[in-house]
Chain A
Amino acid sequence: MTFGPSTPKPSPDQLTAHGAEHDHGPYEAVFTGAARAELDELLTRYPNKMAALLPALWIVQRERGWVSDDAMAEVADVLALTPAYVKGVVTFYTMYHQHPVGRYFIQVCTTTPCHVCGAEGVVDAFLQHTGCGELGVTSADGRFTVIEVECLGACGFATPVMINEQFLESVTPARVPEILAALT
């Protein structure tokens, strides 16, 4: 039995002080224009700003694909929190990417009900056909990252797989090539 990472592994250049974004010019704020308006609307739903933290981080991830340290600092600023506090929250949850991931982020459920139905075979098939080779590693062409995930909550439809926002049910190793071919 292998212990698969539940979060993607950073490449060495992502381990610099402030993540990869610094290598590509100055940080551009997320919460301007429509995203800022969306956040302002969200803030009306809660009695304080802090409660909008998870939704704000979701907006960042949707806009940027991942949540960098700079983005955490921005979120902290707009919600009147500290960057350290925001990082503490981000690291608690498994769905916020703290490093860039492949264009298709593939999560395969391998918790017990799926495990008894052969989920390990599905993981192996994804690793093989995406060229990732290893869990949590992004394929050389930048298209795929495959991880094992704990219980996707669709146990009767083993094996459930999430590719970005798309939820697939009853995935078998044989279906994997066809699923990958359908991704554009």
Chain B
Amino acid sequence: MGYPHRSHERETPVLSKHFGDPAARTLQGWRERGGYVALEKALKMDPAEIQTIVKDSGLRGRGGAGFPTGVKWSFMKPDGKQHYLCCNADESEPGTFKDREIMRWTPHALVEGVALGAYAIYATVAYIYIRGEFTEPLEQVRAAVKEAYAAGILGENAMGSGKTVHVHVHQGAGAYICGEETALMNSLEGRRGNPRIKPPFPAVAGLFGQPTTINNVETLTAVPHILNNGAEWYKQFGRPDNPKSVGTKLFSVCGNAARPGNYEVPLGFNFGEFLWDLCGGAANGREIKAVIPGGSSVPFLTAEECRTAIMDYEGFVAAGSMLGSGGVIVFDDQQDMVRQIARLCRFYAHESCAQCSQCREGTAWTTKIMERISAGDGTVRDFDTLLSIADNMTGKTICVLSDSCATPVVSGLKKFRHEFEAKLKPTPGVVGYGSTATAAAAPRAASPTA
């Protein structure tokens, strides 16, 4: 697949500007493209000043939660403690593959963002936790870190500033849950990736018990652009009537889309225009039936709802879904939604860390019922059972993996109930002796005495 698509005048490549350009991967290539200017500038500033600029820019976390980055950074004060920055590069949300491409094509952009972020929160050590399966991004980021150390960009005297910034790459080992920030910290510490109860929040007691900030790859990569161009520049991207969602965002498009891939657009973009004009609608000339707009854990939107939805944090909520991580999964009109929801449940059942009973039991139970319905053995009572389980799975666990499994089930039952009903086992009629009805004939044929 070629990068970038750039088929539309309103695509705004900021982070994705150098995707597809192998020369941008090297330190020299990255410097020729304006790399490390922001870091050099930042190292001469006071960290609190950087925090203010990022706060003013309106940048929000791009990993899914959307918490304002500058505000998160401002929790970190110069208190004499060892601080840590963690870059969450454990991208595992089905439908999302933007961080992978950032690391593959512009690894130095990430290293610069991480170093800058670490300095801005008074941390001297930062870890980039990359999921184990991302072999190529791992290789690229490791090479970039090595080059940056060799060039004196990282280390005891970063860029000759007298400041210390260490960046280390840490490889995960295959666990979706490690993308949850507290599970990621546990994993980095050499533990099972079980999420931790909050509070204490990472800013108080995070990695190795020290104040820690965790940011997504896309968030940290945006920071050097903000430092270079200013908070006002960043705020120009977005819709004028919604100052809460600004900047550009990478949306990963997959499933039955005609042109899957990563697209960078300003927040506030029209989702209908995005789906049909940029991504070409459904593949093979088919119609779109449903879309998950923000990674597998957010509610479905029907094709009609997609036409009017606005692509920002508030816009997707207003449309009945969420921006999440920006992973757009397209389902065409031939897809069996019951089967796909069952498959999603199976993913969450597989990935539950099993720490909370509501999640451990709920994800497995939901999967079994969904697969039974999908196989044509469900009954109408299963719908109530599913909703009841989903209710017990939502908001009652340490992290939101359980909620993420319940979401497609509840959303699917609401929007595609007719498909669920069409799959139900036919209700047997009351059949007496001598009847020739099919319902009565089947068990007789199976009987060994027949």
Contacts and interface: CB of A to CB of B under 8 A. Distances in A.
B347 A151 contact: yes
A37 interface: no
Interface string B327-358: 10101100100011011101100110100000
A3 B347 CA distance: 11
Interface residues of A, number: 47
Interface string B341-377: 0111011001101000000000000000001001100
Contact of A115 (B82, B92, B192, B343): B343
Contact of A93 (B166, B175, B343, B347): B175
Interface of A: prevailing SS: loop
Contact of B329 (A45, A113, A162): A113
A92 B344 CA distance: 21
Interface residues of B, number: 60
B168 interface: yes
A161 to B, nearest CB: 11
Contact of A153 (B1, B131, B255, B342): B131
B269 interface: no
A157 interface: yes
A57 B329 CA distance: 35
B1 A54 contact: no
Given A111-B343, A153-B92, 13 more contacts: A45-B166, A50-B190, A54-B187, A79-B190, A81-B190, A93-B174, A94-B173, A96-B173, A112-B347, A113-B255, A155-B95, A155-B254, A158-B260
Question: Which 9 A-B pairs have CB atoms at the shortest separation, nearest pair first?
Answer: A53-B190, A95-B174, A93-B173, A94-B174, A155-B254, A156-B260, A50-B190, A92-B192, A113-B254
20 contacts: A47-B208, A54-B187, A55-B170, A57-B173, A93-B132, A93-B175, A95-B133, A110-B343, A112-B296, A112-B344, A113-B95, A116-B255, A153-B97, A153-B131, A154-B97, A154-B100, A156-B1, A156-B252, A166-B135, A167-B133
Interface of A: 1, 3, 6, 45, 47-48, 50-55, 57-58, 79, 81, 88-89, 92-96, 107, 110-113, 115-117, 149-158, 162, 165-167, 169-170
